Amino acid sequence: MPCFESPVDGARLHFVDHGPATGQVAVFVNSSYLGTEMWEYQMLPLAEAGYRCVGFDRRGHGRSDDVWGGFDLDSLADDVDGLLRHLDLREVTLVGHSVGAAEVVRCLTRHGSGRVSRVVLVAGMTPGLVRSADHPEGVDPALVETGNETFRRDRAAFFEDGARAFLALDLPGNELCDAYVRSLINRCLGSTARAGTALGDLVLTLDVAPELAKIDLPVLVVHGTHDVSAPLELTGRRAAQLLPDSTLKVYENAGHGLFATHREQLTADLREFMSGS
């Protein structure tokens, strides 16, 4: 099983590397709770089309080590950079979903853009979700704390009860079979309770707004109109306004899980963005 050692603490982090070794490279950074399997509808078609697609399981997720520490944003960003260095990847399109989008941003502002040429923020939690002095329109932190407490009390119910809203299954065009939804819930349960709790706490303090203005690369921001986890106006649209060189694509009726419900649209947009057209 391919792994690399985290530069933070030596934790073994599992990665996948699909497609031709010489193809244009896309590196995928996952949502909370999920491993690289979440990107199956993007990574496999892109690899078949000649792109090199790389992804890794965040610490405490998928097949990576079950560890206690390293869930602060700096350490998570160091793990992303560690993968780029381990495989000596260059001219990368760095793709992050949800909290993974914040890891992408921090990786760039912490380690520079020498290995990265383009960025995609998919349903990102960036620049930050929670209300603060600089973000008075944000979500009441008490609501996030309540959700975190629900997770601590019964994370199985948390995933089960939240799946329909996560995928916006009650909206037209978002039909997914029950088997897929069940598999997604099971994948979420495969992450550790410690990892989920730590990332929930991270969302409470997440604020990368000042960092977005420092990203000197083309950025594609993809977001759904019905994302209840990271509402469009608080995250995706705000991120696009703060970034110096951004393109915002809004998916109608899409929720946070648009990588599944809008799979073909997302894959096509990634391919178009990577081609520079």
CA distance 210 to 244: 12
Using DSSP, state whether 177 is helix, strand or coil: coil
Active-site choice (223, 227, 246, 269): 227
Pair 202, 129: CB distance under 8 Å? no
CB-neighbour burial class of residue 45 (10 A; exposed 0-12, middle 13-18, buried 19+): middle
Whether 64 is a known active-site residue: answer no
Whether 227 is a known active-site residue: answer yes
Using DSSP, state whether 14 is helix, strand or coil: strand
Looking only at the bridges linking them, the beta strands covering 3-5 and 12-18 are antiparallel
Whether 86 is a known active-site residue: answer no
Contacts of 240 (CB under 8 A, 6+ apart): 219, 221, 246, 247, 248
DSSP state of 207: -
Extract the runs of DSSP E, i.e. beta strands, from the chain.
Answer: 3-5, 12-18, 25-29, 52-56, 92-97, 116-122, 219-224, 246-251
Q: Which residue has the tokens 């080590």?
A: 65
Active-site choice (14, 18, 226, 256): 256
**CA 252 to mean position of chain CA atoms:** 20
Active-site choice (31, 75, 98, 229): 98
Burial 259-270 (b: 16+ CB within 10 A, else e): bbbbbeebbebb
Return the active site residues: 98, 227, 256
